Amino acid sequence: MKFKALTAVAALLAAPLAYAGGPDDDTLVVNEEVEMATKVAAPAHMSDTGIDTIMSGWHFRTDETQSLQMDDFENPSMIFVDQAVDYFETVDGTEGKSCASCHESVEEFAGLSATMPKMIDGKLTTMEDLLNSHRAEAMGAEPWKWSSAEMQALVALIGLQSRGMPMNVAIDGDAAPYWEQGKEMYYTRYGQLELSCANCHEENYGNFIRADHLSQGQINGFPTYRLKQAKLISRHNRFRGCIRDTRGETFAEGSDEFRALELYVASRGNGLSVETPAVRQ
């Protein structure tokens, strides 16, 4: 089952404590019908990273965690996605409208999440931004907090409409300066531990850091359901947690810095299938 079985055995013989590291060689098929592209050639912009194959975080999880994402009846995210179907039709705000007042069906958003974040009216826009701006402008409703249950449930519902489609965020044109900013952040060694995203997710993916099996830190499955926290986790919340773990001062969820980082990290997943909503440990 494990791709690196031979290497792992060799490592075990040499070093009795080594784990069987590396990604596995399993195939992710959801509901026995949608086969996901979970290992694909890295996009051209990653040619200087030393990574030639980009991989879904799914490959670094245990068989038990993996299986939860293979069947929507077992995927705990789906409870929240169901709630989002209700939010979609719930009137909120001064205009007496719901999402459904303007959008016939959530299915019309197929493909949208695969291209987010993107430039809209000169602003780098994430799905959370898009939802809050429609709430404000069309509905006259209060903004939702970035990582609130409602927000992430709806981000997940809209993301689900693109499940199986390849991630394809634009990094050129007026997005280019934001992409550059995000790239610089990715290689910045934050905090007292002086660790960058790249130190863990580019140089050490496949290795264990204590009990954690490091992945490439991809966001094609976000929002993801985290078993440890028993809820949907936003992209920015994950970034915050990773910078906090460097003994660093994080950025705020919804900050311009995290928008730029989100664009850059998303672009490192261009070509992977959208897996939203994924399941993680």
Partner 1 sequence: MRLTTITAAVTLVAGVAVAETVAPGDVQFTEYGEVTQSLTGQPGDAERGKTVFSSRSKGNCVACHAVAQLADVPFHGEVGPELTWTGEVRSAEELRGIVANAKMMFEGTVMPAFYKTTGFTRPGDGYTGKAAAGDLAPILTAQEIEDVVAFLLTLQEG
Q: Which of residues 209-238 bind partner 1 (CB under 8 A)?
A: 209-211, 214
Contact between 36 and ligand HEC per CB under 6 A:
no
Q: Does 83 bind partner 1 (CB under 8 A)?
A: no
| Whole-number CA gyration radius for the chain | 19
Tokens of 135: 């709430």
200 in catalytic set? no
Where helices occur in 57-148 by DSSP H, the ranges are 63-68, 77-89, 99-102, 127-134
Q: Taking Cα atoms as reference points, which of 34, 29, 40, 49 lies closest to residue 167?
A: 40
Minimum Å gap between C-beta 114 and ligand HEC is 16
Sign of CA dihedral 180, 259, 49, 204: positive
| Cβ atoms of residues 171 and 182 within 8 Å | no
Report the C-alpha gap between 266 and 216 in whole angstroms.
12
62 binds partner 1 (CB under 8 A): no
Q: Is 21 in the site for partner 1 (CB under 8 A)?
A: yes
Select the binding partner of residue 81 from ligand HEC, partner 1, none (C-beta < 5 to 8 A, by kind). Answer: none
Q: Is 250 in the site for partner 1 (CB under 8 A)?
A: yes
CA distance 138 to 185: 34
- Kindly indicate which of the ranges 102-110, 121-129, 145-153, 243-251 contains the residues binding ligand HEC, using the contact rule CB under 6 A: 243-251
The size of the chain, in residues, is 281
Q: Which does 259 bind (CB under 5 to 8 A by kind): partner 1, ligand HEC, none?
A: none
User: Which of the choices ligand HEC, partner 1, none does residue 211 contact, using the CB cut-off of 5 to 8 A by kind?
Assistant: partner 1
How far lies 56's CA from each of 26, 266, 270, 271, 272, in Å? 11, 12, 11, 11, 7
Scanning residues 199 to 218, which ones bind ligand HEC (CB under 6 A)? 199-201, 209, 212, 214-215, 217-218
> Count of alpha carbons within 13 Å of 267, Cβ hemisphere only?
24
Q: Which of 99, 197, 200, 242 is catalytic?
A: 242
Does 16 help bind partner 1 (rule: CB under 8 A)? yes
Q: Which residues contact 148 (CB under 8 A, 6 or more apart)?
A: none
Compute CA distances 27 → 31, 124, 171, whole Å: 13, 34, 29
Q: In the block, which residue shows the tokens 């994430």?
A: 126
Which residue's CB is nearer to partner 1, number 201 or number 231?
Answer: 201
Residue 257 binding ligand HEC, by CB under 6 A: no
Residue 240: which of partner 1, ligand HEC, none does it interact with, CB under 5 to 8 A by kind? Answer: partner 1
> In the complex, which residues of this chain contact partner 1 (CB under 8 A)?
15-19, 21, 188-195, 199, 203-204, 207-211, 214, 240, 243-250
- Binding residues vs ligand HEC (CB under 6 A): 57, 60, 195, 197, 199-201, 209, 212, 214-215, 217-219, 221, 224, 238-239, 242-243, 245-246, 261, 265, 280
Active site residues: 242
